[in-house]
Amino acid sequence: MSSAATGYRPSATLPIRAEIRRQASRRRTQLALGFMVLLPLIVLLAFEFGGGNDDDNGGGAFSSLVDLATSGGLNFALFAIFVSAGFLLVVVVALFCGDTVASEASWGSLRYLLAIPVPRARLLAVKLVVALAYSLTALLTLAGTALLVGTLRYGWHPLGSTVAAEIPAGQGVLRLLAILGYLAVTLLGVAGLAFLLSVLTDAALGAVGGAVLLWILSSILDQITALGSLRNFLPTHYSDAWLGLLSTPMQTDDVVKGAISAVCYATLFWSLAFYRFTRKDVTS
């Protein structure tokens, strides 16, 4: 015999659909996704009006990604990913994952969700799944739009790279998907951190900003070679490993290590988030 009100089932509370709708109606979500569409267009315009060759920026073997960006749709998409992977995507993922719980807390609606009652673990799980889904959507939107506008403007050509041989277009799409997959996995780390902060604080901005700040800190530490092999444990250490997927054959060693690092960090952060949230007094 259940003690609950008729029609109430803990596993039916806060359906994923409902959470998607809760987030979809927010201006923040719309702007973030909109920007993912806008960015490739801005980059395209920049290439169109920028004209002339800029001088070599000395970015090593991979500066060629810039030179090759206008050689075809695939390269354009690759370039769009290249320029946004370091910071933009981190911010977007931190936004989706860091804001989700903290904003409910700051609105005061969190306590009403918990009084429904949505079981705390379920609330977190649904929020996390939806935040990750939005993050993935952002990533795919960016790549998809860039691929589309790049192909319309520059045509459908093999994926060029001066590191290795040209990659046929069909295989290039697979490489692009693999890169997106790896980026998605590495971004799990920042997603985990932002989500943990989101649970710990009632200030949505604090959670998002905190996650991005810590991420930047990790990137800075990663630049300090004096730290030696300690850097391997930084969550951002392998964030560029996806570039290895462009060579032939693909360099997957660092990709695998990066995936391990990201999965471990994400699991750690999420575990802490669940542990904390299922035990804390909600005071917002």
Q: Would you count residue 254 as binding other proteins (CB under 8 A)?
A: yes
Selected binder of other proteins within 133, 136, 164, 203 (CB under 8 A): 164
Closest CA relative to residue 149, chosen from 81, 77, 82 = 77
Query: Which residues make beta-bridge pairs with 159?
Result: 167
Selected binder of other proteins within 48, 129, 217, 253 (CB under 8 A): 253
Selected binder of other proteins within 162, 169, 203, 216 (CB under 8 A): 162
**Which amino acid does the sequence have at 88?**
L
Q: Kindly give, in sequence order, each residue whose CB lies less than 8 Å from that of residue 64, ignoring residues fewer than 6 positions away.
A: 161, 162, 163
Closest CA relative to residue 32, chosen from 98, 121, 110 = 98
Nearer to other proteins, 145 or 236 (CB): 236
Q: Would you count residue 69 as binding other proteins (CB under 8 A)?
A: no
Q: Are 274 and 124 in contact (CB under 8 A)?
A: yes
Q: Would you count residue 155 as binding other proteins (CB under 8 A)?
A: no
Please identify, among the stretches 74-82, 131-139, 157-165, 187-195, the one whose residues bind other proteins according to the rule CB under 8 A: 157-165
Q: Would you count residue 263 as binding other proteins (CB under 8 A)?
A: yes
Nearer to other proteins, 197 or 246 (CB): 246
Q: Are 76 and 149 in contact (CB under 8 A)?
A: yes
**For residue 242, how many other CB atoms are within 10 A of its CB?**
25
Alpha carbon distance 35, 44 (integer Å): 14
Q: Would you count residue 3 as binding other proteins (CB under 8 A)?
A: yes
Alpha carbon distance 196, 271 (integer Å): 9
Name the maximum alpha-carbon separation found in the chain: 76
Selected binder of other proteins within 37, 70, 86, 117 (CB under 8 A): 117
> What residues between 24 and 53 interact with other proteins by CB under 8 A?
25-27
Q: Would you count residue 243 as binding other proteins (CB under 8 A)?
A: yes
Residues that bind other proteins (CB under 8 A): 2-10, 12-15, 17-18, 21-22, 25-27, 60-62, 107-121, 160, 162-166, 237-238, 240-244, 246-249, 251, 253-254, 256-257, 259-260, 263-264, 267, 278-279, 281-283
